[in-house]
Structure formats: structure tokens, C-alpha cells
Amino acid sequence: MQMENFNHVPVLLEECIEGLQIKPDGIYIDGTLGGAGHSQKIVKQISEKGLLLGIDRDEEAICVAKERLKEFSNVQFVHDNHDNMKAILAKLEIPAVDGILLDLGVSSYQLDEKNRGFSYLGESQLDMRMDKMAELTAKEVVNTYPEEKLANLIYEYGEERFSRRIARNICEQRRKKEIETTAELVKIIEKSVPRKKGEGHPAKRTFQAIRIEVNNEIKPLYQTILDSIEMLKPQGRLCVITFHSLEDRAVKNAFLEAEGKCTCPPGLPYCMCGAKKLGKIVTKKPILPSEEEMEQNTRSKSAKLRIFEKF
């Protein structure tokens, strides 16, 4: 893998840096290190006494980030999943941190790298693993999941209204021959989804759904957000960038719980749900990219930044 191929334009960069309120001697986590776009900016604002912890489940991303940040001695790299942040900090004997950044979803590099199978453009093996050591692949999901399970995950994770038709056609095709490439899958989806002008590529939602399933991106997210808040020092901040409504909903709901929103049925004389106020939501409405950023980086169009501050 060549480093020049690892193109990554950090989304909402200035807004994240401002949101983190970086202290020179603080400890910061970039839980989705990627090509180190955000980390390059963070590490320039911390002193030698400070520490940046870069976590990514993609080994290729770690290699690129190490090269891009090689001039800095106050960076530590961890090949792991940000969902395991609590265990990572316990192992490193770091009790709490000053700030955490999570830039969720798939990176530009992973989409562009043809052999990873994330993109519905071109042809590659059905893979979609962010961590190449992981067992579950897109090929396994497409070829072994029962029709109903396949339809449900395409509907839930892709918000695709033609999910049942897509699942039925996938199962019909795989009975004849195993589906091996992204191009084969795209062909089935195109046959299943009526194409309307201005709606974008018909395979986009299904590919998103399968990728989320392969990498287990949604199920642990709510707890990951709560864990991240718990690991912050007082006045520490968590910045989370999401790219679709499922991610954003999980983050928003976790923030509400951490802010102590009571979930008891109305009419109870006192709170029974044990709501605890851990801090405050800084962004009552999410921060969106500027028109200029959306023009320069089309992948930023669906991005939303939410910020939480611990008491």
C-alpha cells in the first residue's frame, strides 16, 4: 500500500478542534485514527507532556498514520476497535482523558481502495472488513444469511425500502452460483431497485447496510458513547462525527442519557429510572459542514458533529 493512495480529507476539522478545547498538557484520543487528518491538527496543539492516543481497527491506517506523525514523540498507536476503549485505557493505566474524537463510518481510503470491497463502483472481492483480521466478510453475509435476515438488515441499516426484493433476488442468484464480487452484487441490486433521476446509485444503501453488519458498527455504539463520557476528566469533551441517521440517533440518545434525561413514564411521583447527570450537551443542534466544505469534499455532505462536556 502506497501512502499517496491513502487520501483522507478530515471532515469538520476546525469545528472538531474548537469543540475539543485542547489543553497543551492534556491526554486526547482519536478513536478513529484513519489517515491521521484530525490527529495531525490535535498533536500540533499539545506539548511534549501531553499525549495523543490513536486507535484504529485498520492496520493499513495505523501504518500510514505512524508515517505521517513520525516527527511527534507524544503519540501512541493502538490497533484495536474504539468500542474497546475502556479496556485499552485500563491496559495503558490511563484513568481518564481530556478529550475524545470519534469520526464514525468508512474512510475515504477504504472506499477508494478497490481490493477492500467497500465501493459499489468497479469490481472487487466482496470483503468490506475494516479489520482484515476479522472473520465475517460481506461475501459470507451475502451468500449465507437467510433471506429474511438479509432483508431486515438491508432495511434497518440501509433504510432501503426495496430490501425484500433485493434479498429475494440475492437468494435466487446465489442458488445458481455463489456471489463473489461487488459488481455481481451491484447487478442484482440494479435489477431490484427502480432507478429515479437524482436519487444517486441504487446500490448505495445496500452496501452501507452490509458494511455496517460486517463491522458491527451500530449495536455497540450507544454503549461506546457512554463509555467514552465515563472516561473523560471533569470538563473533558467528546466530539462525535456521524454520517447517517442510525449513527446519529445512537449518539443523540446516549448524549441525552448522559445528560440525565429521565425516561420514566409521566405521572410517577419520583424518578425510578436512576437518571444520572454526567455533563451537558454542548450542541443542542448538530454542527453541519459549511457550504464551502461540502463543495470541496462531497463526502462531508451528510456529516453531523455532536459535542458533550463532562461535569
Domain holding 275: CATH number? 3.40.50.150
Hey, what amino acid is at 198? G
Domain extent, residue 8, equals 3-105+218-310
pLDDT at 265: 86
Residues 224 and 75 in one domain: yes
What are 249-300's pLDDT values in tens digits?
999 999 999 999 888 888 888 888 888 899 999 999 999 999 999 999 998 9
Residues 86 and 230 in one domain: yes
Residues 95 and 8 in one domain: yes
Between helix 182-192 and helix 163-176 the angle, nearest 10°, is 130
Residues 7 and 100 in one domain: yes
Residues 189 and 275 in one domain: no
Q: What is the mean pLDDT of the chain?
A: 94
116 inside domain: no
Q: Decide which of 215, 249, 283 is a domain's last residue.
A: 215
What are 114-142's pLDDT values in tens digits?
789 999 998 999 999 999 999 999 999 99
Q: What is the pTM of this model?
A: 0.93
